[in-house]
């Protein structure tokens, strides 16, 4: 896909990896719609990008919000060609804690946002992409966010790992579903990136995690993720696959 002149929706685009993807896609000529719960940050990023960027306050778990997001994107830019399906939350807790079993509402919330929310967005956006005029047979590309935790979840990551494992597992069937409409579906599984999601961790903790990365021995930079997003959009033969972006790290139990 030639990105310039196309339109991208980036969920969770007000922060971290999503923000980096929004900035890069806009930088190579795409219109960008930032969809996030964080209105202040989302407006600020869209305002900074200027023409060809806008913010729509969106909760990815809400069907109404996502339909409104699509409507605004279509009214503003005509079509939607790229989805960076990135919004997500993290949560930690052992299967049994000191005070009792895992809080099931917390488990449900993580699945609701990371897995059901992601499917809600991709299904509604794909519906709109399917109406695009194909370019070299292609109508759109969807880029989902999983995590290394989908493969090597650490202690306390049962819910988060389950949510991201679901993203990995649905990648192929969704790509198969959307193949007749010329829409590709690719998932990225990042290792550990320097984003606000990681801000809760101490400098020492981040440094120690960075050293566990075989090479380069550091955390990933958000623009390295954004660079892969660009490559996935541009490479028309990538489909139905999950790509690890992690410097070769394999997470240890803790
Ligand atoms: N940072 C990492 O090391 C890392 C590693 C693996 C996977 N990931 C995944 O990458 C994605 C982005 O992570 P990040 O580190 O940039 O996180 P972040 O916390 O910096 O950004 C996430 C954004 O998602 C938004 N969001 C949360 N819930 C939402 C909802 N219901 N509707 C709309 N927006 C919502 C937040 O407001 C925030 O702006 C997540 O899916 C995360 O699980 C991150």
Q: Which CATH superfamily includes the segment(s) 7-245? A: NAD(P)-binding Rossmann-like Domain (3.40.50.720)
What pTM, to 2 d.p., does this model score?
A: 0.98
Q: What is the pLDDT of residues 198-238, one digit of tens each?
A: 777 778 778 878 999 999 999 999 999 999 999 999 999 99
By most ligand atoms within 8 Å of CB, the mutation choice from 62, 65, 87 for ligand 1 is 87
**Can you state the percent helix, strand and coil of the chain, rounding each to 5?**
45, 20, 35
List ligand 1's pocket residues with C-beta within 6 A. 11-12, 14-18, 36-38, 58-61, 86-89, 113, 117, 145, 147, 190, 192-193, 195-198
Q: How far is the CA of 16 from the centre of ligand 1 (A)?
A: 7
Provide the pLDDT for residue 37.
Answer: 98
Work out which ligand 1 atom sits closest to the CA atom of 42: 39
DSSP three-state, residue 79: coil
Nearest CA to ligand 1 atom 38: 12
pLDDT at 1: 98
Task: Write down the pLDDT at residue 128.
Answer: 98
Closest-CA residue, ligand 1 atom 16, reads: 16
> What pLDDT score does 53 carry?
98
Q: What is the pLDDT of residues 5-46, one digit of tens each?
A: 999 999 999 999 999 999 999 999 999 999 999 999 999 999
Phi then psi for residue 30, to 5 deg, are: -85, 150
Task: Give residue 12 CA to ligand 1 midpoint distance, Å.
Answer: 6
- List pLDDT tens digits, range 156-190: 999 999 999 999 999 999 999 999 999 999 999 99
**Would you list the domain boundaries of the chain?**
7-245
Task: In the chain, count H helices and then E strands.
Answer: 8, 7
10 Å CB burial of residue 11 (0-12, 13-18, 19+) is: buried
The confidence score (pLDDT) of residue 217 equals: 97
Q: In angstroms, rounded to a whole number, what is the distance separating the alpha carbons of residues 144 and 130?
A: 18
Q: What is the pLDDT of residue 203?
A: 81
């Amino acid at each position: 896909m030639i990105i310039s002149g196309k339109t991208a929706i980036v969920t969770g685009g007000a922060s971290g990896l999503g923000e980096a993807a929004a900035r890069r896609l806009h930088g190579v000529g795409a219109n960008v719609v930032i969809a996030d719960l964080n209105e202040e940050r989302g407006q600020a990023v869209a305002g900074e990008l200027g023409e060809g960027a806008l913010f729509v306050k969106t909760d990815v778990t809400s069907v109404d919000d996502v339909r409104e997001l699509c409507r605004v994107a279509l009214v503003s830019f005509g079509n939607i060609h790229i989805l960076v399906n990135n919004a997500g939350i993290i949560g930690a807790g052992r299967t049994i804690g000191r005070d009792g079993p895992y809080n099931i509402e917390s488990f449900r919330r993580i699945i609701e946002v990371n897995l059901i929310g992601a499917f809600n967005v991709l299904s509604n956006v794909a519906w709109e992409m399917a109406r695009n005029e194909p370019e070299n047979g292609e109508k759109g590309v969807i880029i989902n966010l999983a995590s290394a935790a989908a493969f090597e979840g650490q202690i306390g990551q049962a819910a988060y790992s389950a949510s991201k494992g679901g993203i990995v597992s649905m990648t192929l069937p969704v790509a198969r579903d959307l193949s007749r409409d010329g829409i590709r579906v690719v998932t990225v599984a990042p290792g550990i990136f320097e984003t606000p999601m990681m801000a809760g961790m101490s400098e020492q903790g981040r440094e120690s995690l960075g050293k566990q990365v075989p090479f380069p021995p550091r955390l990933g930079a958000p623009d390295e993720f954004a660079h892969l997003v660009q490559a996935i959009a541009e490479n028309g033969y990538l489909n139905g696959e999950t790509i690890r972006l992690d410097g070769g790290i394999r997470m240890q139990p803790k």
